[in-house]
């Protein structure tokens, strides 16, 4: 991250009158926590600030301070002179419709590898474990010029951002910097078990039923280097779940010994499929996702593709097989659940 950008973002924030904060569609722990941390701090310094997301907050993040104040809408209220986009490359990924007469400045705060630098000011660091790390630095920078200080609710959000994006401090982005910041955040009174319990140990029963159906669909390539699984719309209907309950399912095929790339396919409708990819080796899944119109990180990426589940799965598995010098599985061995 460029120190100069940190100062520029701070200056613009402190000068702005009305601020809108948002994150990507289907928001995750890092996106929601980062925007809430910034929201809570800006409110403390007396700014007119709102958080608007296109999609609702998943239940597992309902414990975050300020979460009830998030507007869920495609159309943000008011007439902001500044928009802050967190945890993605720009306004396009937020799904928001900004009314024509508004001409706000856009600041992007992000840690993705596939960021096109769409903001007027971009606070980017793809080595940061989470966008929450960048927000931590920004708040610490603003503390120097403001009477308001970081506090427990803000620290809880930022800890959750880093905790979720590092897979509970398991992934390779668990850097010394990530741990150092997490350590400082814990000193504000965070109880690590409370966060873990809220995020990972409070699942609805129906989520496990959905997981059971997902596990039935698992497939593995001939050389065992990649594996996959799918969810179709009927799975949601039969179990009474929604797409947010698929969070983490891709970790099951990834957890198989020898598997380097895991792919999760979720049927959105008869013509669109959401794809999540994870790698645990050298393969850069962000590069594969980017070729398919999406993006992400080296080890975690995604995209949305047009086509039936069967067509999309065939195409994606062929690309993954090529990148791993593995083979495409026989058509018949690719189970379609439901
Ligand atoms: P997930 O598989 O959990 O949806 O996403 C994994 C990572 O890839 C996240 O960092 C997410 O932001 C990114 N990602 C997922 N889907 C898309 C997409 O359609 N476009 C882009 N640019 N990034 C995506
Ligand atoms: Mn993130």
Instruction: Tell me the pLDDT of the chain (338 aa) as tens digits.
Output: 666 789 999 999 999 999 999 999 999 999 999 999 999 999 999 999 999 999 999 999 999 999 999 999 999 998 899 999 999 999 999 999 988 777 899 999 999 977 666 678 899 999 999 999 999 999 999 999 999 999 999 999 999 999 999 999 999 999 999 999 999 999 999 999 999 999 999 999 999 999 999 999 999 999 999 999 999 999 999 999 999 999 999 999 999 999 999 999 999 998 999 999 999 978 999 999 999 999 999 999 999 999 999 999 999 999 999 999 888 877 655 554 43
Residue 183 to residue 219: CA distance in whole angstroms: 40
164 membership: H or E segment, kind and range? helix 152-165
Q: Which of 129, 300, 304 to mutate to test the pocket of ligand 1 (most atoms within 8 A of CB)?
A: 300
Residue 218 phi, psi dihedral angles, 5° rounding: -60, 140
What is the predicted pLDDT for the residue at 328?
82
Tell me if 264 sits within 8 A of 232, measured CB to CB: no
What is the predicted pLDDT for the residue at 331?
65
Q: Which of 295, 297, 303, 305 to mutate to test the pocket of ligand 1 (most atoms within 8 A of CB)?
A: 295
What is the predicted pLDDT for the residue at 336?
46
Residue 113 to residue 87: CA distance in whole angstroms: 11
Smallest CA-to-CA distance from 49 within 59, 62, 35, 63 is with 35
In sequence order, the 6+-apart residues with CB closer than 8 A to the CB of 208 are none
What is the predicted pLDDT for the residue at 31?
98
Nearest residue by C-alpha to atom 12 in ligand 1: 296
Residue 34 to residue 24: CA distance in whole angstroms: 12
Residue 73 to residue 212: CA distance in whole angstroms: 33
Q: Which of 228, 302, 316 to mutate to test the pocket of ligand 1 (most atoms within 8 A of CB)?
A: 302
Residue 268 to residue 275: CA distance in whole angstroms: 10
Nearest residue by C-alpha to atom 14 in ligand 1: 302
What is the predicted pLDDT for the residue at 103?
81
What's the CA-to-centroid distance between 160 and ligand 2, angstroms? 11
Contacts 24+ apart (CB under 8 A), 184-188: 185/136, 185/155, 185/158, 185/159, 186/155, 186/159, 188/150, 188/151, 188/152, 188/154, 188/155, 188/156
What's the CA-to-centroid distance between 101 and ligand 1, angstroms? 30
What is the predicted pLDDT for the residue at 78?
86
Ligand 1 nearest-atom number relative to CA 87: 12
DSSP string, 257-277: TT--EEEEEEEEETTEEEEEE
Residue 94 phi, psi dihedral angles, 5° rounding: -90, -20
- Kindly state the DSSP code that residue 221 receives in the 8-state scheme: -
Tens-digit pLDDT profile for residues 100-139: 777 899 999 999 977 666 678 899 999 999 999 999 999 9
What's the CA-to-centroid distance between 80 and ligand 1, angstroms? 27
Q: Which two tokens stand for residue 72?
A: 């869920």
Residue with tokens 């039935």: 216
What is the predicted pLDDT for the residue at 338?
35
């Amino acid at each position: 991250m460029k120190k100069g950008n940190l100062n520029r973002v701070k200056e613009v924030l402190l000068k702005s009158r009305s601020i809108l904060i948002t994150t990507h569609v289907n928001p995750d722990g890092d996106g929601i926590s980062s925007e809430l941390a910034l929201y809570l701090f800006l409110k403390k310094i007396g700014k007119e600030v709102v958080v608007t997301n296109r999609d609702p907050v998943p239940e597992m993040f309902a414990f975050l301070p300020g979460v009830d104040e998030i507007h869920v809408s495609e159309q943000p209220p008011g007439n902001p002179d500044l928009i802050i986009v967190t945890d993605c490359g720009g306004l396009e990924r937020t799904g928001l419709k900004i009314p024509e007469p508004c001409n706000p400045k856009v600041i992007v705060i992000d840690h993705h590898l596939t960021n096109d630098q769409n903001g007027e000011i971009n606070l980017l660091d793809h080595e940061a474990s989470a966008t929450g790390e960048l927000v931590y630095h920004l708040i610490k920078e603003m503390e120097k010029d403001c009477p308001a200080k970081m506090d427990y609710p803000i620290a809880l959000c930022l800890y959750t951002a880093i905790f979720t994006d590092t897979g509970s401090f398991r992934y390779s982005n668990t850097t010394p910097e990530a741990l150092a910041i997490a350590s400082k955040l814990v000193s504000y009174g965070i109880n690590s078990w409370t966060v873990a319990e809220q995020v990972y140990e409070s699942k609805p029963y129906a989520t496990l039923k959905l997981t059971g159906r997902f596990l039935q669909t698992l497939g593995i390539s001939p050389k065992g280097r990649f594996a996959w699984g799918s969810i179709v719309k009927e799975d949601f209907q039969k179990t009474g779940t929604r797409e947010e309950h698929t969070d983490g399912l891709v970790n099951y095929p990834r957890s198989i010994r020898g598997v380097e790339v895991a792919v999760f396919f979720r049927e959105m409708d008869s013509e669109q499929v959401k794809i999540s990819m994870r790698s645990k080796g050298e393969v850069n899944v962000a590069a594969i996702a980017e070729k398919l119109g999406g993006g992400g990180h080296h080890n975690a990426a995604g995209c949305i593709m047009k086509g039936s589940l069967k067509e999309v799965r065939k195409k994606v598995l062929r690309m993954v097989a090529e990148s791993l010098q593995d083979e495409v599985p026989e058509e018949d061995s690719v189970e379609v659940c439901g």
